[in-house]
Chains A and B, each alone.
Chain A
Amino acid sequence: MVRVLLRFSREIVDEPITSQVILEEGIPINILSAHINPQGGEILAEVSSDRAEDAIRAFRGRGVTVDVRELIEKDDERCTDCGACVSLCPVDAIAFRDDSSVDIDEERCLGVTCGLCVDACPTRAIRLIG
Chain B
Amino acid sequence: MKELAESSGVKVAFREVDVVTTGTFGAMCSSGAIINLGHSDPPMKIGSAWMNDVPVTHPGAAVDLYIGATLMSETEPFEYGGGHVIEDLIRGEEVELRATAHGTDCYPRTRLETTLTKDDLNQFYLLNFRNCYQRYSCATNSRDEAIYTYMGKLLPRFRNATYSGAGELNPLMNDPDYETIGIGTRIFLGGGQGYVIGEGTQHNPGGRLGTIMVRGDAKRMSPEFIRGASFTNYGTTLYVGIGMPIPILNEGIAEKAAVRDRDIYTEVVDYGVPRRDRPTLRKVSYEELKSGRIAIGDRDVKVSSLSSLRKAREIAGTLKAWIEDASFYLTSPVETLPTETSFRPMRQTREAVFVENLVHGAVTCREDEAIGEVAQRLISRSVNHVIVVDERERLRGIVTSWDITKAVAEGRSRLGDIIVRRVHTAALSEPLDSASRRMAQHSISALPVVDGDGKVLGIVTSEDISRLMGGAGYG
Chain A interface (Cβ within 8 Å of chain B)? 80-89, 95-96, 99-101, 116, 119-120, 122-124
Shortest B110–chain A CB gap in Å is: 37
A-side binding surface: helix, strand, loop or mixed?
A: loop
- A87 / chain B contacts, CB cutoff of 8 Å: 160-162, 292, 302-304
Shortest Cβ distance from residue A118 to the other chain B in the assembled complex, whole angstroms: 9
Residues of B within 8 A of A86 (CB): 292, 302, 304-305
Complex: how many Å from CA A80 to CA B27? Answer: 11
Most chain B C-beta atoms within 10 Å of own C-beta, residue among A83, A88, A99, A101: A83
6 interchain residue pairs of minimum CB distance: A86-B304, A122-B229, A87-B304, A87-B160, A100-B310, A120-B153
Q: At the interface, is chain B mostly helix, strand, loop or mixed? A: strand
B79 to chain A, nearest CB (A): 8
Query: Which single member of A82, A88, A124 contacts B305 (CB below 8 Å)?
Result: A82
Residues of B whose CB lies within 8 Å of any CB of A are 25-27, 79, 152-153, 155, 160-162, 227-232, 237, 239, 292, 302-311, 313
Chain A residues with Cβ below 8 Å from B79 are 124
Inter-chain contacts of A120 with B (CB < 8 A):
152-153, 232
Known: A122-B27, A122-B229. A82 touches B307 (CB 8 A): yes
Which of A82, A99, A119 is B239 in contact with, Cβ under 8 Å?
Answer: A82
- In the complex, A59 Cα to B92 Cα: how many Å? 50
Interface pair A88/B153, CB less than 8 Å apart: yes
CB contact under 8 A between A100 and B227, given known A87-B160, A122-B306? no
Contact A82 B308 (CB under 8 A): yes
- Decide if A81 touches B311 in the complex (CB within 8 Å): yes
The chain B residue with its CB closest to the CB of A90 is B159
List residues of chain B with CB within 8 A of the CB of A96. 292, 304, 309
10 residue pairs A–B, Cβ–Cβ below 8 Å? A80-B308, A83-B307, A83-B309, A87-B161, A89-B302, A100-B310, A101-B310, A119-B153, A122-B239, A122-B306
Contacts of B26 in A (CB 8 A): 82
Residue of A86, A87, A116 with most partner-chain B CB within 10 A = A87
Q: Which single residue of chain B is at the shortest CB-CB distance from A99?
A: B310
Max chain B Cβ within 10 angstroms of own Cβ: one of A80, A99, A100: A80
Choice from B27, B155, B231, B313 contacting A88 with Cβ under 8 Å: B155
CB atoms of A122 and B230 under 8 A apart: yes
* CB of B287, distance to nearest CB on chain A (Å): 14
Find out whether the CB atom of B155 lies under 8 angstroms from the CB atom of A100.
no
Chain B residues lying within 8 Å of A89, measured Cβ to Cβ, are 302
Q: CA–CA, A88 to B27, complex, Å?
A: 18
A113–B328 Cα distance when bound, in Å, is 50
Complex partner residue of A116 from B153, B230, B231, B292, CB under 8 angstroms: B153
Apart from A82-B239, A116-B153, A122-B231, what are 15 other A-B pairs with CB-CB below 8 Å?
A80-B311, A81-B311, A82-B307, A83-B306, A85-B304, A86-B292, A87-B160, A88-B153, A96-B292, A100-B313, A119-B232, A122-B152, A122-B230, A123-B227, A123-B230
